[in-house]
Structure 1
Amino acid sequence: MFNLTHPKLVTLAEAEGYAEVVDFLEDYAQGSIVPAICMAPDCDHTADLEPDQRAGFCEACGRPTMKSGLVIAGMN
């Protein structure tokens, strides 16, 4: 089941310059490096990480809370 309305996914897509989450996902669906966002409530740091990243290190807040946009959407 895909989740295209998760607030962090919407924030990530907007940070990457996309008005629509679907357009963001179409562009990165086959990428080897994709945008990720920190899932901590008080942090929206973004970075380019692996498509299956679920617990990457956030350089802004220091927590293992970075998640790929594809993972948030349920695509990976």
Structure 2
Amino acid sequence: MFNLSHPKLVTLAASEGYADVADFLEDHAQGSTVPAICMAPDCDHTADLEPDQRAGFCEVCGRPTMKSGLVIAGMI
């Protein structure tokens, strides 16, 4: 079961111009890089990273907290 309601996933999809998280995931499910978001509570920085990224470096807050939208949703 996928988690389409995680607040960071909703924020990530909206920042990419999607009103529906499912459409965002469908469009990015096969990409070699996908949108990712910082999971720190006080940071919403986004970047394109590897689809399986779970602890990427955030260029804004400096923490290893970047996570792929596909990972957040539970697709990977």
Q: Using structure 1 for the length normalisation, give the TM-score.
A: 0.99
Q: Distance in 2 between matches of 1:71 and 1:29?
A: 11
Q: Percent of counterpart pairs with the same letter?
A: 88
> What SS does the corresponding residue of 1:41 show, helix, strand or coil?
coil
Structure 2: gaps (5+ residues): none
- CA shift, 1:65, in A, is 0.1
Residue 70 of structure 1 aligns with an amino acid whose one-letter code is L
Q: Distance in 2 between matches of 1:20 and 1:27?
A: 11
Q: Which residue of 2 aligns with 1:43?
A: 43
- CA shift, 1:62, in A, is 0.1
How large is the RMSD of aligned CA atoms in angstroms? Answer: 0.4
1:33 pairs with 2:33? yes
1:56 pairs with 2:56? yes
> What SS does the corresponding residue of 2:44 show, helix, strand or coil?
coil
